[in-house]
């Protein structure tokens, strides 16, 4: 007989995943296995039932067959089989299934299974690293990668039947592939520039020859005089006192929270005129404006050697000239001359898909206290838009130079960054045929009535300059270019119809005729000599 204390020690040494043997068993009570063993020992061999003997005989036979089969497998080289799972919900079948306990004490089996289920349920709450994908926690959610179709994994095997590891997709070293991926990601991020990036001015603008100057930097003399003219008083009346007070009240309301649409609505009613319905800046003047329209990519500055790109401008408001022939800014001949400015792009001066030409004023709206309001970002957007405006006039001046003309169009433009509190006025110009400059020339606090009126005055003066002096310069330049192209075309047509006389060519054409004349005179003289044989040979010669 084995010592009960030793049996109890072995029971305590078992794995915590193994189920207890008896439900609510006292410490001194025997275990179910001990009870079953004592029962078998107390029963004589002769009292056992025949069915029991047959069953035991069958069990021994099966065990013998299993041992033979195992011995046979050991002598044969086979593919290794995967290890069986040692999870807690299956371990009790091998360790605790006692046939005597099952057949003679079914109530103990029920208690045994119940206790095992409870222990498994509590133990499952302790997750290991390999089970984390099956039971993701709330702190660290597991992301699932979805694909359109899972590829069929076909494993190659050698002659012995063993799996051959797959061939790597790239033969290059891992470090080289990592560097290549970094270069690709860097190039893709630079090509899609973000105007909100803190390095946008240093990288994307500066490396494409666009420079944002400090507001205190001195302006060139010609530009300084032009800015001073914008501050001149207008003869047209400004806002009435009632309209101004109403505008101040609306600005105070927007300070509590607003979006860009509300800012646009305020300034459209008070500062910026509507080119479609305003009498002073309407369609009859040739002006045109587009809202939230992409500017042509060919007008955006781009240095081929720079890895950074300028974001394609999409100003909230863009003023330029209409392409309409009836009541538009240009005549039919001037529109034709615009197609001659660039050799490969006849629409070079067209800034938007709506036909706006030669833009000169770009506006970016923001909202303080609302969404995405930042005048620094607006200035970055203005830098790209104003540079595109300069390129259209620059191409016009190149054509004037090719025509040997001394005329030049003032290549400058304006842009405004404004929100519901401040308005910043910028001037942009081009130097050295390659560098673009943007500089702030004035700032207005919209909540102050005097500065609000000054802001409105300067905007109207810019529009006056655009529809008068600037449009006149562009129209005269187009007339010069068209006239020069007509002269060149007429000379080319004349040279094709009547080629110039060449003395050498005319001499060549006359030589064959002289030869024919000499031959004819000699034959006539021979005939004369034949008819008069008494004539001396000397005379005949």
Whether 189 and 197 have beta carbons less than 8 Å apart is answered as no
pLDDT, mean of residues 316-322: 96
CA of residue 367 relative to chain centroid, distance: 25
Q: Does 205 lie in the same domain as 118? A: no
Contact of 313 with 295, CB cutoff 8 Å? yes
Domain identity same for 244 and 366:
yes
Q: Is 117 within 8 Å of 92 (Cβ atoms)?
A: no
Residues 6+ apart with CB under 8 A from 19: 92, 96, 112, 113, 115, 116, 119
Mean pLDDT for the stretch of residues 436-450: 97
**What are the tens digits of pLDDT across the range 498-536?**
665 555 555 555 555 444 444 444 444 444 334 444 333
Does 449 have pLDDT greater than 90? yes
- Strand 210-213 vs strand 435-445: parallel, antiparallel, or unpaired? parallel
pLDDT, position 434: 85
Work out the mean pLDDT of the chain and round it to a whole number: 74
Is position 503 within any domain?
Answer: no
Comparing 178 with 433, the larger pLDDT belongs to 433
Of the three residues 460, 476, 495, the one that is the final residue of a domain is 495
- Indicate whether 237 and 384 sit together in one domain: yes
Q: Which domain holds residue 359?
A: 200-495
94 and 219 belong to one structural domain: no
Spatial contact of 193 and 204, defined as CB atoms under 8 Å apart: yes
Quote the tokens at residue 385: 């838009």
- Cβ atoms of 428 and 412 within 8 Å: the answer is yes
Task: Give me 476's structure tokens.
Answer: 């005269």
Give the three-class secondary structure for 381: helix
Residue 533 maps to a domain: no
**244 shares a domain with 110:** no
CB 257 within 8 A of CB 282: no
Cα–Cα distance measured from residue 125 to residue 116, given in angstroms and rounded to the nearest whole number: 15
Residue bearing the bigger pLDDT, 368 or 365: 365
Predicted confidence band of residue 12 (pLDDT cuts 50, 70, 90)? very low
H-assigned helices in 75-138: 88-95, 99-104, 106-123
φ and ψ at 214, to 5 degrees? -70, 150
Average pLDDT value for residue range 437-466: 97
pLDDT of residue 353: 95
In this prediction, residue 250 has a pLDDT band, given cuts at 50, 70 and 90, of very high
More confident residue, 82 or 409: 409
Q: What is the pLDDT of residue 489?
A: 86
- Residues 357 and 328: beta-carbon distance below 8 Å: no
Query: Is residue 316 scored above 70 in pLDDT?
Result: yes
Find all residues with CB under 8 Å of 30, minimum gap 6, and list them.
4, 38
- Over residues 177-199, the mean pLDDT reads 56
Q: Kindly state whether residue 169 falls inside one of the protein's structural domains.
A: no
Question: What is the rounded distance in angstroms from the CA atom of residue 128 to the CA atom of residue 376?
Answer: 51
Q: What is the pLDDT of residue 441?
A: 97
Q: Can you give the pLDDT at residue 412?
A: 96
Distance between CA atoms of 229 and 222, rounded to whole angstroms? 11
Q: Is residue 464 part of a domain?
A: yes
Query: For residue 247, what are its two tokens?
Result: 């505008």
Q: Examine the domain organization and report whether 205 and 115 are in the same domain.
A: no
Using only C-alpha atoms, what is the Rg of the chain?
49
Asked if 369 and 478 sit in the same domain, the reply is: yes
Q: Examine the domain organization and report whether 117 and 210 are in the same domain.
A: no
**What band does 415 get if pLDDT is binned at 50, 70 and 90?**
very high
Same structural domain, 112 and 225: no
Instruction: Say yes or no: 111 and 223 in one domain.
Output: no
> Percent of the chain beyond pLDDT 90?
45
Q: Which residue has the higher pLDDT, 279 or 204?
A: 204
pLDDT of residue 158: 54
The whole-number average pLDDT for the span 287-295 is 95
Number of domains in the chain: 2
Q: Does residue 392 fall inside a structural domain?
A: yes
**Is the domain of 466 the same as that of 340?**
yes
Q: Does 37 have pLDDT greater than 90?
A: no
Helix (H, G, I), strand (E, B), or coil: what is residue 295? strand
What pLDDT is stored for residue 291 in this prediction? 95
In terms of domains, do 230 and 334 share one?
yes
Tens-place pLDDT, residues 73-100: 555 555 566 666 555 555 555 555 555 4
Within a domain: residue 433?
yes
Is pLDDT above 50 for 175?
no
Q: Across residues 186-195, what is the average pLDDT?
A: 53
The answer to whether the CB of 263 falls within 8 A of the CB of 254 is yes
283 within 8 A of 276, measured Cβ to Cβ = yes
Name which residue leads in pLDDT, 84 or 339: 339
Task: Report pLDDT for 79.
Answer: 59
Q: With bands split at pLDDT 50, 70 and 90, how would you rate the model's confidence at 183?
A: very low
The residue ranking higher by pLDDT, 425 or 36, is 425
**Per the structure block, which two tokens stand in for 262?**
């509300």
Q: Which of 429, 425, 427, 395 is nearest to 410 (CA)?
A: 429
Does residue 46 surpass a pLDDT of 70?
no
Residue range 145-157, pLDDT digits in tens: 444 444 445 555 5
Domain assignment present for 260 = yes
Does residue 347 carry a pLDDT above 70? yes
Q: How confident is the model at residue 240 (pLDDT cuts 50, 70, 90)?
A: very high
pLDDT mean over 195-224: 95
Is the pLDDT confidence value at 311 over 80? yes
Amino acid 283: pLDDT: 84
Residue 4 has pLDDT above 50, yes or no: no
pLDDT at residue 127 in the model: 46
pLDDT of 49 above 70: no
User: DSSP assignment, residue 350?
Assistant: B
pLDDT of residue 270: 95
Helices (H), 351-428: 375-402
Question: Using DSSP, how many helices (H) and how many strands (E) does the chain show?
Answer: 16, 7
Lowest mean pLDDT among 36-40, 303-307, 458-462, 511-515: 511-515
Q: What angle do CA 455, 212, 439 make, to 5 degrees?
A: 30
* Average pLDDT of span 99-126: 58
Q: Is residue 101 part of a domain?
A: yes
């Amino acid at each position: 007989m084995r010592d009960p204390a030793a049996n109890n020690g072995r029971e305590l040494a078992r794995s915590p995943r193994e189920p207890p043997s008896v439900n609510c068993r006292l410490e001194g009570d025997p275990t179910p296995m001990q009870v079953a063993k004592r029962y078998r020992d107390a029963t004589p061999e002769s009292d056992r039932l025949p069915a029991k003997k047959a069953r035991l005989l069958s069990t021994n036979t099966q065990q013998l067959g299993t041992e033979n089969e195992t011995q046979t497998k050991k002598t044969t080289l086979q593919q290794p089989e995967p290890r069986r799972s040692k999870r807690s919900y299956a371990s009790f079948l091998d360790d605790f299934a006692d046939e005597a306990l099952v057949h003679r004490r079914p109530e103990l089996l029920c208690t045994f299974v119940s206790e095992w289920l409870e222990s498994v349920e509590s133990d499952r709450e302790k997750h290991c690293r390999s089970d984390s994908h099956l039971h993701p926690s709330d702190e660290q959610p597991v992301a699932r990668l979805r694909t359109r179709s899972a590829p069929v994994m076909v494993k190659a095997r050698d002659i012995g039947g063993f799996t051959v590891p797959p061939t790597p997709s790239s033969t290059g070293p891992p470090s080289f592939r990592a560097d290549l991926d970094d270069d690709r990601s860097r190039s893709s991020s630079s090509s899609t520039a973000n105007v909100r990036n803190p390095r946008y001015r240093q990288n994307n603008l500066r490396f494409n020859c666009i420079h944002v100057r400090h507001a205190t930097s001195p302006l060139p003399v010609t530009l300084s005089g032009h800015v001073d003219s914008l501050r001149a008083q207008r003869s047209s009346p400004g806002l009435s006192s009632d309209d101004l007070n109403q505008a101040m009240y609306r600005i105070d309301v927007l300070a509590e929270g607003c979006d860009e649409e509300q800012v646009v609505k305020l300034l459209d009613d008070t500062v910026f005129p509507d080119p479609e319905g305003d009498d002073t800046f309407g369609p009859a003047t040739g002006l045109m404006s587009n809202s939230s329209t992409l500017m042509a990519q060919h007008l955006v500055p781009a240095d081929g050697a720079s890895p950074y790109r300028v974001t394609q401008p999409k100003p909230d408001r863009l003023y330029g000239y209409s392409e309409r022939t009836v009541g538009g800014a240009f005549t039919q001949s001037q529109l034709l001359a615009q197609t001659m400015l660039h050799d490969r792009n006849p629409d070079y001066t067209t800034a938007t898909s709506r036909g706006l030409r030669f833009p000169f004023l770009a506006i970016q709206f923001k909202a303080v206290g609302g969404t995405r309001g930042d005048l620094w970002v607006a200035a970055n957007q203005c830098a790209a838009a104003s540079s595109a405006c300069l390129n259209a006039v620059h191409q016009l001046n190149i054509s004037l130079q090719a025509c040997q003309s001394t005329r030049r169009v003032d290549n400058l433009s304006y842009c405004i960054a404004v929100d519901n509190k401040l308005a910043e006025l910028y001037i942009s110009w081009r130097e050295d045929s390659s560098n673009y400059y943007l500089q702030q020339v004035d700032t207005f606090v919209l909540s102050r009535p005097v500065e609000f009126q000054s802001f409105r005055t300067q905007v109207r003066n810019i529009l006056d300059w655009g529809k008068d002096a600037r449009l006149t310069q562009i129209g005269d330049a187009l007339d010069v270019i068209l006239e020069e192209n007509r002269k060149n075309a007429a000379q080319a047509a004349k040279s094709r119809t009547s080629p110039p006389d060449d003395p050498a060519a005319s001499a060549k054409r006359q030589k064959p005729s002289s030869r024919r004349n000499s031959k004819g005179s000699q034959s006539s003289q021979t005939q004369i000599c034949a008819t008069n044989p008494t004539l001396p040979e000397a005379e005949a010669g």
